[in-house]
A and B are shown apart, each in its own frame.
Chain A
Amino acid sequence: DQQVKQNSPSLSVQEGRISILNCDYTNSMFDYFLWYKKYPAEGPTFLISISSIKDKNEDGRFTVFLNKSAKHLSLHIVPSQPGDSAVYFCAASHQGAQKLVFGQGTRLTINP
């Protein structure tokens, strides 16, 4: 049972434009959501997170939106830069569990 789903395995965006990565979840107990970026031969690097008490969190070029009723979150990157090309994972957890449940990842390619 895939509790966290990223339905787009890949996304290609032109440099300077907005990148939107999507993630859906099924477990209503999840109350904390994170986005990670992963380059080849490296571990995932934390990008941004959001608690279920919020619907938006912003950090520089990165904004995460959470729609609890739809069990959907998205990561917006604007403007997109070539260095943003990587695999992006969304992850979720619920209070007390501490462990993360990951989506399958979306490979983002930023074209010059």
Chain B
Amino acid sequence: SAVISQKPSRDICQRGTSLTIQCQVDSQVTMMFWYRQQPGQSLTLIATANQGSEATYESGFVIDKFPISRPNLTFSTLTVSNMSPEDSSIYLCSVATAAVDYGYTFGSGTRLTVV
């Protein structure tokens, strides 16, 4: 299965600032997914990032708040903009593997705390 390198692993940020999270995959993938896990909650899909096109956002998430870049088939970034304490979460990127039985592979996550 694919190996994903995600960074930073954690950060503490001031409210009103922005943080960009990077995910690098060791193989070319068509779609990359960005998830959020709020404290004590389930993982929720933020958006799906396709190379060469605009990301597709889920209900409740907007591009101005979570802009995504997908410059090539192995890399994507998620920016959390104008942060507030409510944005404190774990953010994870994910890719679908070629063999369906292997499921989806996740990065190690970015633990964001906004103060």
Known contacts A89-B43, A104-B41; A99 and B101 CB within 8 A of each other: no
Total A residues in contact with B, Cβ cutoff 8 Å: 22
Collect the chain B residues with CB atoms within 8 Å of residue A49's CB: 100-101, 103
| In the complex, chain B residues 37-76 whose Cβ is within 8 Å of any chain A Cβ | 41-45, 48, 58
Total B residues in contact with A, Cβ cutoff 8 Å: 27
Majority SS at the chain B contact face: strand
Contact surface of B with A, Cβ cutoff 8 Å: 1, 4, 6, 9, 31, 33, 41-45, 48, 58, 92, 94, 96, 100-109, 111
Contact A42 B109 (CB under 8 A): yes
Collect the chain A residues with CB atoms within 8 Å of residue B44's CB: 102
Collect the chain A residues with CB atoms within 8 Å of residue B43's CB: 44, 89, 91, 100, 102
Contact B103 A34 (CB under 8 A): yes
For A101, the closest partner residue in chain B by CB is: B45
A98: contacting residue among B6, B31, B41, B105, CB under 8 A: B31
Contact A44 B106 (CB under 8 A): yes
Contact surface of A with B, Cβ cutoff 8 Å: 2, 4, 32, 34, 36, 41-46, 49, 89, 91, 98-105
Contact B104 A34 (CB under 8 A): yes
Contact B108 A42 (CB under 8 A): yes
Q: How far is the CA of A45 from the CA of B1 in the complex (A)?
A: 11
